[in-house]
Amino acid sequence: MAKEMIVNPYDVQGDVDYARLGKEFGIKPLDEKLLKRIEKIAGEVHPYLRRGIFFAHRDLEKFLDDYENGKKVFLYTGCGPSGPIHLGHYTIWSFTKWLQDKFGIELWFQFTDDEKFLYKNKTFEEIQGWTKENMLDVIAIGFDPKKTHFLVDTQHAGIMYPEAVKVSKKITFSTIKASFGFNDSNNIGSIFYTAMQTVPIFLPSVLSGEKQRCLIPLAVDQDPHFRISRDVVEKLGHYKPSIIHSKFMSPLTGVDSKGSSSNPDKMVLMTDNAKTIKKKINKHAFSGGKETVEEHREKGGDVNSDVSCQWLRYFEEDDEKLAEIYEKYSKGELLSGEIKAMLIEKLTKALGDHNKRRAGAEKLIDKFVYKN
């Protein structure tokens, strides 16, 4: 029997059926009309949009309406600092950077250090260490320091907690139980926490006195937080956030689950060097190829289950080239090892560039952290 599908910020289990998930969550597919509107603004359509990696949304039309009408809008995304950053984070933030560049708008970036402390078996100090480490990776993405504001929950509690209190009054524990699968043995900080994640939706409006709509790029498991938030913030006089949802980047071990930094062998970390990247891909990347070279040449490989093929969707920007690779792999003209080599090359380049930027990131932290 198939394992039951569970998708929430604290638990992802089973084979994720995105069509079913979309229906259950009540989110809409990203259609051609929306992609055209984005193209008109951005001058291009990001590969992740063309390829259905970002596949769904809530109220994206309203965000685009406001933008087109010259109203101030902003981006909001974040990071839970409890371990090293991996490619799953990197790809969502790269897309977020593209949005910032193309739309020319502000990004509020939340580091949920309280959340990670409350949910993980780590000390407060360990989480603070990861917060700083993760900041370096976020800065290395290349966000505009003049238009990007870091919020760290425990460092910005002075402005965030009073707003979180207003949010929390409108959410019962019943709602939290239903959304996150909690029970009475959860700690009371973790129960309160979703109120803190709601605040950046409207904090820029409160701080500036100008009501602004935001767009949240996120991995779909984060949607339950904002499903709760959307009703609440409207009751508080703010705009519901617009959301654009990405599928999970699969771990190296297979396309049927979610990447995570808890097992570093299953994911490529941003700090992995060329040697480690090569080793991880060659050793762990699940192959869609056949048992023997002869059989593979004859019957061809399976693009959909081959993790390297799937990961190339994130790193090979040229649509024609990707299609050609897929065709040749399906026909057995390309071997799994050859696909792996292509992926290794792409990743080595991308992560090499990232780590060059990361090396100069520490001195920029101060420019990014929002001044209370």
Instruction: Provide the minimum distance between the beta carbon of 195 and a copy of itself in the complex, in angstroms, as a whole number.
Output: 6
Indicate the residue among 75 and 191 with the shorter CB distance to a copy of itself.
Answer: 191
Query: Among 56-64, 181-189, 246-254, 363-371, which window interacts with a copy of itself (CB under 8 A)?
Result: 181-189
Give the Cα separation of 253 and 314 in Å (integer): 17
Give the Cα separation of 185 and 178 in Å (integer): 15
Q: Give yes or no for residue 176 binding a copy of itself (CB under 8 A).
A: yes
Can you say how many angstroms the Cα of residue 39 is from the centroid of all Cα atoms in its chain? 21
Instruction: Provide the minimum distance between the beta carbon of 156 and a copy of itself in the complex, in angstroms, as a whole number.
Output: 8
What residues from 192 to 251 belong to the interface with a copy of itself (CB under 8 A)? 192, 194-195
CA angle 331, 336, 339 (to 5 degrees): 95
Binding a copy of itself (rule: CB under 8 A), the pick from 51, 147, 177, 328 is 177
Mention every residue, 6+ apart, whose C-beta is less than 8 A from residue 280. Answer: 252, 265, 268, 272
Q: Give yes or no for residue 369 binding a copy of itself (CB under 8 A).
A: no
Q: What is the per-residue DSSP string for 74-86?
A: EEEEEE--SS--B
Query: Among 172-180, 200-208, 254-262, 325-333, which window interacts with a copy of itself (CB under 8 A)?
Result: 172-180
Reading the block at residue 110, the tokens are 């939340």
Q: Give yes or no for residue 188 binding a copy of itself (CB under 8 A).
A: yes
Residue 369 DSSP code: B
Binding a copy of itself (rule: CB under 8 A), the pick from 5, 118, 274, 322 is 118
Query: Among 7-15, 117-125, 135-143, 248-256, which window interacts with a copy of itself (CB under 8 A)?
Result: 117-125
Give the Cα separation of 336 and 292 in Å (integer): 11
Write the single-letter amino acid at 44.
E
Q: Give yes or no for residue 180 binding a copy of itself (CB under 8 A).
A: no
CA-nearest of 219, 179, 182, 266 to 18 is 219
Instruction: Provide the minimum distance between the beta carbon of 217 and a copy of itself in the complex, in angstroms, as a whole number.
Output: 26
Instruction: Provide the minimum distance between the beta carbon of 158 and a copy of itself in the complex, in angstroms, as a whole number.
Output: 3
Give the Cα separation of 134 and 354 in Å (integer): 13
Hey, what's the torsion of the CAs at 52, 80, 14, 19, to 10 degrees?
Answer: -30
Indicate the residue among 69 and 185 with the shorter CB distance to a copy of itself.
Answer: 185
Binding a copy of itself (rule: CB under 8 A), the pick from 13, 172, 262, 263 is 172
Q: Give yes or no for residue 160 binding a copy of itself (CB under 8 A).
A: yes
Binding a copy of itself (rule: CB under 8 A), the pick from 158, 209, 291, 363 is 158
Q: Give yes or no for residue 117 binding a copy of itself (CB under 8 A).
A: yes
Q: Give yes or no for residue 184 binding a copy of itself (CB under 8 A).
A: yes
> What burial class does residue 170 get, using C-beta atoms within 10 Å of its C-beta: 0-12 exposed, 13-18 middle, 19+ buried?
middle
Q: Say whether 370 sits in a helix, a strand or coil.
A: coil
Q: Give yes or no for residue 5 binding a copy of itself (CB under 8 A).
A: no
Can you say how many angstroms the Cα of residue 232 is from the centroid of all Cα atoms in its chain? 23
Indicate the residue among 192 and 329 with the shorter CB distance to a copy of itself.
Answer: 192
Binding a copy of itself (rule: CB under 8 A), the pick from 5, 35, 41, 157 is 157
Q: Give yes or no for residue 102 binding a copy of itself (CB under 8 A).
A: no
Reading the block at residue 4, the tokens are 């039951």
Give the Cα separation of 137 and 145 in Å (integer): 14
Q: Binding residues for a copy of itself, per CB under 8 A?
A: 114, 117-118, 124, 154, 157-158, 160-162, 164-174, 176-177, 183-192, 194-195, 372
